[in-house]
A = this chain, B = another copy of it.
Amino acid sequence: MMNYKAYLIDLDGTMYRGTEPIPGAADFVKRLNEWSIPFMFITNNSSSKPEDVAAKLRNMGIKAKDEQIFTSSMATASYIHTINPDSKVYVIGEKGLYDALAKHHIEVVKESADYVVIGIDRSINYEKLAEACLLVRNGAKLISTNKDIAIPTERGLLPGNGALTSVVSVSTGVDPLFIGKPEAIIMEQAIEKLGLPKEEILMVGDNYQTDILAGIRSRVDTLMVETGVSSMESIKHLSEQPTYCVGNLSEWNPKAP
């Protein structure tokens, strides 16, 4: 086990489950802070603003600064801004997505859009989907913050953004460009923010299909925690394994003796 110089850390299933903090998570972050190891939280959550996510963590006793939160909405806005800051964007999404686009001064429009951008939207309706389909058929590029098919809630697994996005992709036959984990786009941006070589970074998360694959695809070492979606048992048949796996984060020492 090597001493990584920076960490990328997932949130849901790794730091908390819904509103419940996960044991060992706060202490793990405390040790990173004590040893001045830089870290960033990287989440497919597209609905929340980073300030709200950071406040939630602090309320759980996890020391996180606003600028240590990196969401799929922020990666989406940054991606579009890099391609063309004058892009016009039609949006299906919640405040986290609108906020990220506004911070990049990207114009949100109802028609003549260059991009249709979809994030989770629990106020989704037929008209929003219809307009998105018309724009995509008219040539707008289709971007989706993340392909998560389900969101864990107290009620059970509700439709995720990947499922909502499928209305537009199935209807138009156009494949979306996904931004969030396990895609390289969000990872490359997060790595650039950390400003360190990939081999010095460890990606920590509970979900093999998003967190661990994101690390594998971006050639960043991975630590899987069994406090959320995936277990070693459930992934043992897969050819690409996480670099490390622990039951929970209290078992992981960020600084080897």
Tell me the A residues contacting B by CB distance below 8 Å.
121-126, 129-130, 133-134, 137-138, 149-150, 155-160, 162-164, 166-168, 170-173
On whether the beta carbons of A137 and B149 are closer than 8 Å, the reply is no
**Which of B158, B162, B168, B170 is the one whose CB lies under 8 Å from A130?**
B158
In the bound complex, what is the Cα–Cα distance between A202 and B137 (angstroms)? 34
CB contacts (< 8 Å) of A167 on chain B: these are 159, 163-164, 166-167
Interchain CB contact under 8 A, A159 and B137 = no
* 12 pairs of residues in contact across A and B, judged by CB atoms under 8 Å: A124-B125, A124-B126, A124-B129, A126-B159, A129-B163, A133-B159, A133-B163, A134-B155, A137-B157, A138-B156, A150-B171, A157-B172
**Contact status B126-A126, CB under 8 Å:** no
A168 touches B157 (CB 8 A): no
- Distance to closest chain B CB from A162 (angstroms): 7
* Known A124-B125, A150-B171: A134·B162 in contact at CB below 8 Å: no
Instruction: State whether A150 touches B163 (Cβ < 8 A).
Output: no
Q: How far is the CA of A149 from the CA of B173 in the complex (A)?
A: 9
Contact B159 A129 (CB under 8 A): yes
A-B complex: 5 closest residue pairs judged by Cβ atoms: A163-B171, A166-B166, A159-B171, A122-B126, A130-B158
Q: Which of B123, B133, B156, B171 contacts A126 (CB 8 A)?
A: B123
CA distance A121 to B160 in the complex (A): 19
Find chain B residues with CB under 8 A from A156 CB: 133-134, 137-138
- Report whether A160 and B171 are in contact in the complex, using a CB–CB cutoff of 8 Å: yes
Q: For A124, what are the chain B residues with a Cβ–Cβ distance below 8 Å?
A: 124-126, 129
